[in-house]
Structure 1
């Protein structure tokens, strides 16, 4: 069977299954656990508009989780059907950031590519953060000044309370000679941020907002 689950959907399903598992661990009321099972089933299936019977069966198994062993086995099976982030070469990355000199390119372990909604990395020496994601089937690159903060706050991408920094990008204004800086708090740890993403909506909105007015390259 072909892979049919996006990374954000995978993390959403894991979150719902974890909620169900917590319910099993905190109550012995059969009516409560049955209600949680039904709610979990409805929520995970609602993610998809067109599933084959076999695909629906795989997704629906989230509601069968009763203990930690069930969860581990299910997540392992589910991950086989997650669409990995598109493989990007060093040349691809350099084309996405043509104006950046001495670009440091990250090394991502093979097993982490299915966990990514975006590829992100920090360059502390240059006080920059880089991001690559897909929008409308195209790879989009974004980078900006990045200043880590000491306290936690809400990330604009994953909307979770994490260690963040101020990401600032400079784009063209209405006049060619005018520039506008836009800033938002985003996670310092891009891997953790990806694990938190349960919908691509905020990610796509963030990238479009940061690049508005900027004719950035795409692949």
Structure 2
């Protein structure tokens, strides 16, 4: 069974399912429901590049979802095809944070890797937060201070409204000087991952926090 769905794509499909269920519960016009199903199918397919015939058949079955039982069955079947986040080993962490002598490897035992687009963990002793991403270039890590906010805000990574905090990272420039850059991100990285429905905000965040421009 070959996986072909990213975590953010699966999250987007889940969100579209919620809209469909709401429509079925509130709309009585069959023509309107047919139109909504068609629009939903097209919106979901747009999130993918080329699909095999079998993969497309799996995705477009979203139009058959009418109630919670249908949704549970559909999503459980699709979940089997979600790419799991790669196993994180000590050498991966050291590669992501080469300037640090020792970084504790985060425990992901209680987290389903299929829910992850990135990983984040806190070092409460130093009040530091570590974020780790898998990009085309390999493992990328960003370390910074983190100050929790008492109010909700928009996270720069998932673009959802959550309880956030100010993440401040030190960026080394080409001249070896340091810049401080800050963005508000989710306090809970697991919740943040579950909110990610597209990669553009995440990629923009990585670029902003690692570029020395």
TM over 0.5: yes
The yes-or-no answer on 1:166 pairing with 2:175 is: no
CA displacement at 1:141 relative to structure 2: 1.1
What are the superposed Cα offsets for residues 149-191 of structure 1, whole Å, 9 maximum, x if unpaired? Answer: 1000000000011000000111123532x21100000000001
RMSD: 1.7
Please say which of residues 52-61 and 98-107 is displaced more in the overlay.
Answer: 98-107
2:97 corresponds in structure 1 to 97
CA displacement at 1:94 relative to structure 2: 2.9
CA distance in 1, matches of 2:126, 2:66: 48
Q: Relative to structure 1, is the Cα distance of residues 171 and 137 closer, same or farther in structure 2, using a 3 angstrom cutoff?
A: closer
CA displacement at 1:97 relative to structure 2: 2.1
CA displacement at 1:96 relative to structure 2: 2.1
Matched position secondary structure for 1:125: coil
Please say which of residues 205-214 and 188-197 is displaced more in the overlay.
Answer: 205-214
Contact 2:157 2:201 (C-alpha < 8 Å) held by counterparts: yes
TM-score (norm 2): 0.94
CA distance in 2, matches of 1:92, 1:172: 21
* Unpaired stretches in structure 1, ≥5 consecutive residues: 215-219
2:205 corresponds in structure 1 to 206
1:24 corresponds in structure 2 to 24
Contact 2:85 2:114 (C-alpha < 8 Å) held by counterparts: yes
Contact 1:148 1:164 (C-alpha < 8 Å) held by counterparts: yes
2:188 corresponds in structure 1 to 189
Contact 1:17 1:63 (C-alpha < 8 Å) held by counterparts: no
What are the superposed Cα offsets for residues 117-166 of structure 1, whole Å, 9 maximum, x if unpaired? Answer: 10111222211111111222512111111111100000000001100000
Contact 1:157 1:203 (C-alpha < 8 Å) held by counterparts: yes
Matched position secondary structure for 2:125: helix
CA distance in 2, matches of 1:172, 1:99: 11
1:8 corresponds in structure 2 to 8
Contact 2:94 2:102 (C-alpha < 8 Å) held by counterparts: no
CA distance in 2, matches of 1:189, 1:110: 14
User: How many aligned positions are there?
Assistant: 213
CA displacement at 1:15 relative to structure 2: 0.8
CA distance in 2, matches of 1:55, 1:206: 31
The yes-or-no answer on 1:148 pairing with 2:111 is: no
2:72 corresponds in structure 1 to 72
